[in-house]
Amino acid sequence: MSSTIDGDAARSLEECVAGGGVAVFPTDTVYGVCCDPDNEQAARRMYGAKGRPSARACAIMFFALEPALASLGEIPDAERRALGALLPGPVTLLLANRTGHFTAACRTDPTTLGLRVPLLPAALAALSAVSRPVMQSSANISGEPDARSLAEIPRSLLDGVDLVLDGGELPGTPSTVIDLRDFAGERRWHLLREGALSRDAVRGKLAAVA
């Protein structure tokens, strides 16, 4: 375990994921668990540690905005503006998976991609040096409360991963989940879960770019 999120911790996370490992790490909202989004074996380990149903998708997290946008390929201008308004931020965005990447995370729906780019506070800013995306979910047993500290993560999950990074106490409210698949064509969006970013804040951000 590491109690300091510094450059060494960021490198450890990247090396763990690149090597096929599974890691627990802090985000801008709650603790997450992650692995390589192109490694099905690692994904199965992560799902097993959480007790997550195998058909349920996970989000892809990038630690900086530009590589996230680059991974999406050609996207409509309206969608790109929406992403710029919401990211980085405490949101998970559902998008059309036009490139067909990250199928281990998409599970049974390869046409839809969940995207996260966290707005890292100063204490976690070193994680922005992680250059590769990760497949991530909340560090809890599926259906149980999210964890704002390592003490709230079940021991069975911690014992089932290869690396644990301690970022101290986090805000504790999970990301807001927004479906943007209709935004480019119809300027419509759907709030699937209200979390760290309020509905009114989402509405204001998207109204400004619609």
What are the tens digits of pLDDT across the range 27-56? 999 999 999 999 999 999 999 999 999 999
Instruction: Report if residue 22 sits inside a domain.
Output: yes
Residue 142: give its domain's CATH number: 3.90.870.10
For 127, which DSSP code?
A: G
169 belongs to a structural domain: yes
Nearest residue to 172 (alpha-carbon basis) of 44, 32, 1, 3: 32
pTM: predicted TM-score of the whole model, two decimal places = 0.95
- The answer as to whether 1 is a domain residue is no
Q: For residue 162, what pLDDT is reported?
A: 98
Number of domains in the chain: 1
Nearest to 100 by CA among 115, 114, 112, 108: 112
Write the pLDDT tens digit of every residue in 114-141. Answer: 999 999 999 999 999 999 999 999 999 9
- Domain with 60, as residue range(s), is 7-207
Beta strands 31-35 and 134-138 are antiparallel
Reported confidence tier of residue 103, pLDDT bands at 50, 70, 90 = confident
Element (H or E) spanning 198, and its range?
none
In a domain, 56, yes or no: yes
In a domain, 175, yes or no: yes
**DSSP bridge partners of 113:** 95
